[in-house]
Amino acid sequence: MLKSLVHDLHPLVILSHKMDWRAIDLEFAQYYSLEGSPSVPTRTMVGLLLLSGNNSTRRFFI
């Protein structure tokens, strides 16, 4: 469904294919608890950070 909304050549789609998501998951695993409510996946958190449009991530796409 999302593929029908976002073009494959969008810079964030291209970037998402280049990222080593396993390495990111391993790096952030220490901050996630195995108890309680399910955690938000790291891919979602990184994606939201990139979409937030703050200056530190925005300049990569200008």
| CA-to-CA separations, 15 to 21, 23, 34, 39, 42, in angstroms, rounded | 11, 15, 29, 23, 15
Q: What is the pLDDT of residues 37-47, one digit of tens each?
A: 888 888 888 88
Q: In this model, does residue 34 exceed pLDDT 90? A: no
Taking the model in full, what pTM does it have?
Answer: 0.62
> What is the largest distance, in Å, between two alpha-carbon atoms of the chain?
41
Task: Tell me how far apart the alpha carbons of residues 25 and 4 are, in angstroms, rounded to a whole number.
Answer: 27
Report the amino acid identity of residue 22.
Answer: R
Q: Which two tokens stand for residue 49?
A: 């950070």
Q: Domain tally for the chain?
A: 1
Name the more confident of 58 and 29. Answer: 29
Domain containing 12 equals 2-61
